[in-house]
């Protein structure tokens, strides 16, 4: 990595951390703000959250093509400014139409940031350095969210709407800082630095969504991604929270401690985990996450169905969230870099946007399914998500069969392994292309 590229990566990572810091100020309190502080009711608060997610689903299908045609930088700057406008408008919203409109603008703005940032990281890295770059991004994002949430909790006061306006103003300011930092980045020219299907030029066949859907490995990764996000992230603030309070009878304040444990594990363990998983095959790392999460769900089952003491139930629940954090730390250096390594150079933005769309769908469906089950169908809820977690292991191992050696194990590039020479990525890529 050149000095200029390294400087660009540092600025990208700094902007990513600051925007996450701003998001942390408001994300935990959006429902309370709309429902209680603005007195718009639980129904409106639910609609605002739904519109926030819907806006992302609307813009993401178009985001990737714009990134690949115009570059990630203008998309990131434009999305940051749009998100800043939405955040400030949300802080001033005093009626239903204003809150819904603000949520749509904020949701659309934040939705495009993830694929734009991911594409910038891809352009400033190589297959050999990409794993660490994405792990660093995930670490800084969680650190920013955690610190922002803690500071926001000290400021927030439901009896003073002005305290929430301050929170949303800080969030808007951080988005503008991201735009300014991104605007100062000198992006290197895109190059064919992928390691598998990246070697196939977009001009050699179908482009856009058709090309993505014909990439068997990418389709399999998207299915795996949906299950990952559905079984974990989609349950944090809905099904698992409902299950913990209804089945386990825990005080809602314990959920805050459990979420803090999740963030603490990610922040403290990320780079230790990175050193352990970096030399391993990505498919096996993801498969191991499925087993860890299955055990986490069994602990959650004990918390609500084990008829133990409140202390043991609380410990089991906190351990569940902590194990989820361990799995997340293992996924950050594997899944996002794999999306980039599967993409042809001219379609990195579309692959990142497609995967972000899958994530958003899982985050929309997860609470809708898990919420009612976690609140009333306690045993079936646990069994369902134990099976989903085991499904992650199966899907990951099957995905490994479709990957080239370097895609599955980027450490081969730096190790100079004979495996790379014997099984050249171009040969496997050609074989994959032939069966499409």
Three-state SS sequence of the chain: CCHHHHHHHHHHHHHHHHHHHHHHHHHHHHHHHHHHHCCCHHHHHHHHHHHHHHHHHHHHHHHHHHHHHHCHHHHHHHHHHHHHHHHHHHHHCCCHHHHHHHHHHHHHHHHHHHHHHHHHHHHCCCCCCHHHHHHHHHHHHHHHHHHHHHHHHHHCCCCCHHHHHHHHHHHHHHHHHHHHHHHCCCCCCCCCCCCCHHHCCHHHCCCHHHHHHHCHHHHHHHHHHHHHHHHCHHHCCCHHHHHHHHCCCCCCHHHHHHHHHHHHHHHHHHHHHHHHHCCCCHHHHHHHHHHHHHHHHHHHHHHHHCCCCHHHHHHHHHHHHHHHHHHHHHHCCCHHHHHHHHCCHHHHHHHHHHHHHHHHHHHHHHHHHHHHHHHHCHHHHHHHHHHHHHHHHHHHHHHHCCCCHHHHCCHHHHHCCHHHHHCCHHHHHHHHHHCC
Three-state SS sequence of 271-324: HHHHHHHCCCCHHHHHHHHHHHHHHHHHHHHHHHHCCCCHHHHHHHHHHHHHHH
Q: What is the per-residue pLDDT for 208?
A: 67
| CB neighbours of residue 344 within 10 Å | 25
Structural domains of the chain, with CATH? 1-182 (1.20.1250.20), 195-436 (1.20.1250.20)
Assigned token pair, 139: 């670490």
Nearest alpha carbon to residue 411 among 127, 124, 112: 127
Q: What is the per-residue pLDDT for 147?
A: 85
Q: What is the per-residue pLDDT for 162?
A: 85
pTM over 0.85: no
pLDDT in tens, the chain (436 residues): 556 577 888 888 888 888 888 888 887 778 778 888 888 887 788 788 788 888 888 898 889 889 988 889 999 999 999 999 999 999 998 899 999 999 999 999 998 998 999 899 988 888 878 888 898 988 888 888 888 878 887 887 878 888 889 989 999 999 999 999 888 887 776 655 444 444 344 344 455 677 888 899 999 999 999 999 998 887 876 788 788 878 877 776 677 788 888 888 998 999 999 999 989 999 999 999 999 999 999 999 998 887 778 888 889 989 999 999 999 999 999 998 999 899 888 888 899 999 999 998 888 888 778 878 888 888 999 999 999 999 999 999 999 999 999 999 888 876 654 444 444 444 344 334 433 3
Q: Are 235 and 320 in contact (CB under 8 A)?
A: no
Q: What's the gap between Cα 420 and its chain centre?
A: 31
């Amino acid at each position: 990595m050149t000095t200029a590229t390294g400087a660009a990566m540092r600025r990208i990572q700094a902007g990513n951390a600051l925007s996450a810091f701003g998001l942390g100020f408001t994300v935990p309190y959006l429902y309370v703000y709309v429902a209680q502080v603005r007195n718009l009711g639980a129904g409106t608060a639910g609609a605002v959250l739904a519109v926030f997610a819907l806006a992302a689903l609307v813009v993401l299908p178009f985001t990737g093509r714009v990134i690949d045609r115009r570059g990630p930088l203008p998309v990131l700057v434009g999305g940051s400014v749009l998100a800043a406008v939405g955040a400030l408008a949300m802080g001033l919203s005093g009626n239903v139409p204003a809150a819904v409109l603000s949520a749509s603008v904020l949701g659309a703005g934040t939705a495009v940031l993830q694929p734009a940032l991911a594409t910038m990281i891809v352009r400033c890295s190589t297959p050999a350095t990409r794993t660490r770059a994405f792990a660093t991004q995930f670490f800084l994002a969680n650190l920013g969210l955690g610190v922002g949430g803690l500071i926001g909790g000290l400021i927030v006061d439901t009896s003073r709407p002005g305290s929430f306006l301050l929170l949303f103003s800080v969030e808007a300011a951080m988005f503008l800082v991201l735009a300014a930092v991104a605007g100062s980045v000198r992006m290197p020219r895109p190059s064919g630095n992928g390691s598998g299907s990246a070697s196939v030029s977009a001009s050699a066949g179908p482009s856009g969504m058709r090309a993505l859907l014909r990439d068997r490995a990418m389709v399999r990764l998207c299915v795996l991604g949906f299950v990952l996000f559905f079984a974990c992230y989609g349950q944090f603030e809905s099904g698992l929270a409902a299950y913990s309070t209804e089945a386990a009878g825990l005080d809602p304040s314990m959920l805050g401690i459990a979420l803090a444990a999740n963030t603490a594990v990610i922040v403290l363990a990320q780079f230790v985990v990175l050193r352990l998983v970096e030399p391993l095959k990505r498919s096996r790392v993801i498969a191991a996450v499925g087993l860890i999460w299955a055990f986490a769900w069994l602990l959650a089952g004990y918390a609500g169905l084990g008829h133990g003491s409140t202390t043991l139930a609380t410990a089991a629940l906190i351990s569940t969230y902590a194990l989820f954090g361990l799995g997340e730390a293992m996924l950050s250096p594997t899944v996002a870099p794999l999306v980039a390594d599967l993409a042809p150079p001219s379609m990195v933005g579309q692959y990142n946007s497609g995967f972000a769309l899958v994530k958003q769908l899982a985050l929309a469906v997860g609470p809708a399914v898990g919420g009612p089950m976690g609140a009333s169908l306690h045993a079936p809820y646990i069994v369902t998500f134990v099976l989903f977690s085991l499904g992650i292991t199966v899907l990951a191992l099957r995905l490994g069969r479709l990957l080239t050696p370097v895609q599955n194990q980027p450490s081969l590039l730096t190790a100079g392994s004979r495996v790379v020479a014997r099984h050249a990525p171009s040969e496997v890529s050609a074989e994959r292309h032939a069966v499409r």
